Amino acid sequence: MRFALLSFFIALFAAFAMAVAPHRSVIISWPNETPDHIVEEAKEAIRKAQGVITHEYNIIKGFAAQAPASALEFVSTMSDSYKCEIEEDGVVTTQNDAE
C-alpha cells in the first residue's frame, strides 16, 4: 500500500512539474508597419499559455512579457510577412559594476 501511494505522489509531482514550464523574461518587438492585430494576437497567445504581459511600449511596436518557451516559439511563427524580434529582458547599465 505504501509503495502504491508513493508511486501515485511521484507520478502526480512529475505531471505537475511538466505542466508548469519555466518562464522567460523577454521583449518582443515588430517593424513599425506591422498591423496592430498581429501584436494583439501575440499578447493573447502568451496569456493563453499562462504568460504575463509585463509592459506595453509606446515608442516601439512591442511589449515585455514573461512566458514559456513554447509560447514564444509560437509567437515567432505567427506571421510570415511581419517577423518579430524576441530578446531576453534584463538590466542594462552604463557603468561597469564588476570590480
Helices (H), 1-99: 2-19, 36-48, 69-76
Domain ranges of the chain: 22-88
- The confidence score (pLDDT) of residue 18 equals 45
pLDDT digits over 28-79, tens only? 999 999 999 999 999 999 999 999 999 999 999 999 999 999 999 999 998 8
What is the CATH number assigned to the segment(s) 22-88? 3.30.70.80
- The confidence score (pLDDT) of residue 95 equals 83
**Cβ–Cβ under 8 Å, residues 31 and 61:** yes
Q: Is residue 7 predicted with pLDDT exceeding 80?
A: no
Higher pLDDT residue, 20 or 55? 55
Q: How far is CA 79 from CA 9, 75, 89, in A?
A: 42, 8, 22
Provide the residue type at 32 as one letter: N
